[in-house]
Structure 1
């Protein structure tokens, strides 16, 4: 049941069209008299009665605060009072109660109705049951919280697994480094007890190569990121050791190495390349106490490592034959397996080796998959 609105509405709705439309609207609506004490309800439509469970006789002449209860937010109620006192519109969602005591979230809109003089004579209010929306929001909040907890737990598990993997890789590199050092020491010991000749030279050469690989694993072990290798740090240490073992007044080594991180899988191949080319230049470019210079550069350009090793020595063609050597073949094999390119050239005087290797190159494959070619005459 509902009653006709106040005569103010009747005066602009002589044929009852608006009143009939409001009465039949599915949107709960109520009208309160702003000029009477406590703003009593003077009209409500059937949708409002259905929402609240009240009959018209239960609410006629009463204030809408009858819908409030224990869960109704007092701050929102206070803001409603302030809006009414100012004659201002107001919107909010708050908990209201039905006649049977059940509560629901009420989406409330208050609109002042003014007369020709601008005086607020009534307050019109539209309602909406927002309980489903609120329940969905709560469910989504809980779901997001559960998801957040699951993500946090999985992240913690992944972090722990990564830490374990990192610790394992550190341990592997540490053990490999120790084992390589032992092997290198054994080979050097055997070399000292081997008569001078090709066998001793071969043992010393292999010991040096193994020592270079040991240095790589030591650096990987000490690095914070076991998946990346700082090529410049290795090159600086290698060149320092190389210079320390030669006569600096006779042979000058200049190195310019850019700081660049490469994948750990590329560390050993790059170390072998640098070791072979630099040590070959030191040992074979300047025979008979010839003085000279060696230049080593490594730069990152176009996502690739560009490395050159050049000297002003006797050149490739003038080198003495050495059928037992395989350094050049080793370098060329490594470059191919890293999908790179290598160019050897005579510079008159001297030799220049230019290498380009993509920095996303795959790791070194099994050497048996790419047989070593016959070594050139000059190699050690």
Structure 2
């Protein structure tokens, strides 16, 4: 109903009672009209329980004008496709005496939706007859958003834990397969778990959104620089191209393997060796690619290994499967050159 003239006599009487109620209990009504809690009164003596009073907070919450609310059933505030069960719940609240709230998905005048906990209580006359219903609304929108975000974070955490366990399983299995020496196995597992942990720390600092390539490499090599006194012998140059978490973790493992080999057998195993890592970004039919070179110099004379070790298999597998990458190992007399072509994922940010 949009105007007083179009309302039924019964509706006019009901609203007149509210007006009388307002006049008799002025301070209470003023408080009800101005309180921050959204509330309304509905006429219990008509089948559809039309609204006969709505305070300013309810109008602010829903976006309706007062004359667009008065005379209508509370059900009009529910979403367009409210199912029978929801409507039955609402009818049950008007017909019962329970003071428990019920959550409803409601709609505003602009058709945006919000969740609300609705508490409905009967108002009785001196004879005990229910003549009105009092309803209050608690906006649950932020609560629902936080709830959804918490669920998303829990699901993401579960996903990450499964991935971590799978990675740890692969690390342990490959270490056991490669060597039978307990100390060698222990060192291999510890080194790779530390690298995985450091990559997790880096992504945590970045809110698990993405990580820059420069940061990934520096993070992977920092323990070697610190423990082996290699500061000033490692040179990193290139834009901080962003990679999403899964790719960042994979790259962290790759650079840990390369650094481990360089410290054991390559340029970083001598006093005068140096390591240069640089890259550039180019366009390709698949998208942006990073062309990276890992160049060792000044170390012992190197030769291609007679068999592929765990580190080589990890590098090939990670770059090929995780980043649609290509890798080439050139074992030159002056030192190893590892050339990589990495596809930058579209969700890198």
TM-score range, shorter chain: 0.3 to 0.5
Structure with higher Rg: it is 1
TM-score (norm 1): 0.44
TM-score scaled by structure 2? 0.48
